[in-house]
Structure 1
Amino acid sequence: MSHKLLISSTIAVSVCLLFGFLAGIATEAGIYDWYPELHKPWINLPEWIFGPMWIIMYFITGIAAGLVWHKGFYHKWVKVALYHFGFQLLLSAFWSILFFGLHKPFWALLDIIALFILVLITIRWFRIISGTATVLMIPYAMWIMFAAVVNFEVWHLNPI
């Protein structure tokens, strides 16, 4: 691994984990008092799994972004790919604010649908630049899709 790749990946992972930390703060607002009271679907995972899974997802997507960034930010396609990546990172953090912080499952559902679409677009751009980065984004897309299904079911089972 080159020094430049190590630096770009470390910075990208750090940024992703920072966003995850900020999303975690929003999650704390509802995870212990609001969320346990909701009806949840049978596919819901135990709460203790979500934190570690998000950390893993932010870590591997950070590595993917670092691989893309390593190809040279001066390149137009790299910029476009990383802009999409950054925007999906914002939507990801915003989901936690909507769902757990504001207790708005419907608005969080709209956010996570947009997030999933943007992740697919990001994967498309990453594919042009790095096959490895593309593969690293696939588990994240699957995790977002799973979270969207759980979000939908929570909204559906808990009419407000």
Structure 2
Amino acid sequence: MKLISERTRPGKASEPWMRYGAGAAAVAATAVAGAGAVDADSAWYRSLRKPVWQPPSWAFGVVWTPLYATIAYAAGHALGTMPDRRERTRLTTSLVVNLALNAGWNWLFFGLRSPKAGLAGTLLLNVSNAQLIRRTARTDSTAARALLPYAGWCAFATVLNASLVRRNKTQ
């Protein structure tokens, strides 16, 4: 008879459904909060000079849906592999900051109608992505790898945002 099972060993994170559910809820809240600022049909956004290589508007939803799913998966997976409560708290804090920066970009760019503010926000998001992946990789390489497409897309978004700043200096 085992007194401490794999499921209840000290330091083990909560039940998987709770971890993955919390990750999914946090990501869904991020998507909703960010979407509240987006108005790709506004006269302001349509007036911006955009590079020819910018993806069509519909592509952003197609890309973000699986990226958000991988963030939720990585969060739930990583939190289950961290035996140390302090590390789980640090990872949770990193994830919350990252998701706030993620949603915040929409408010900086669309809400303030400022490509420059958006660029500052996406640069901070890239730093946060690197930190989140580094922290996750310490104990869960699978979850860290799952975050790489998200970081890659955010890096692409930074280049796109920088192009918008360059092309629209007067706005």
Distance 2:83 2:34 in 1: 27
1-structure distance, mates of 2:103, 2:66: 15
Task: Name structure 2 gaps, 5 residues minimum.
Answer: 1-6, 8-13
Identity of aligned residues (%): 25
Higher helix share: 1
Partner in structure 2 of residue 32 of structure 1: 41
Q: Is the 8 A contact 1:17 1:55 kept in 2?
A: no
- Which of the residues 51, 55, 63 maps onto 1:45? 55
- Alignment length (residue pairs): 157
Q: 1:40 to 1:73 in 2, by over 3 A?
A: farther
TM score, norm. by length of structure 1:
0.91
Match of 1:7 among 13, 18, 21: 18
Give the RMSD, CA atoms, in angstroms: 1.7
Shift of 1:114: 0.9
- Deviation of 1:70 after TM superposition, in Å, equals 2.0
Q: Is the 8 A contact 1:16 1:61 kept in 2?
A: yes
Aligned partner of 2:66 among 56, 70, 74: 56
Moved over 6 A (4+): none
2:11 equivalent in structure 1: none
Give the secondary structure class of the aligned counterpart of 2:113.
coil
In 2 relative to 1, CA 36–124 (structure 1 residues): closer, same or farther, beyond 3 Å? same
1:21 aligns with 2:47: no
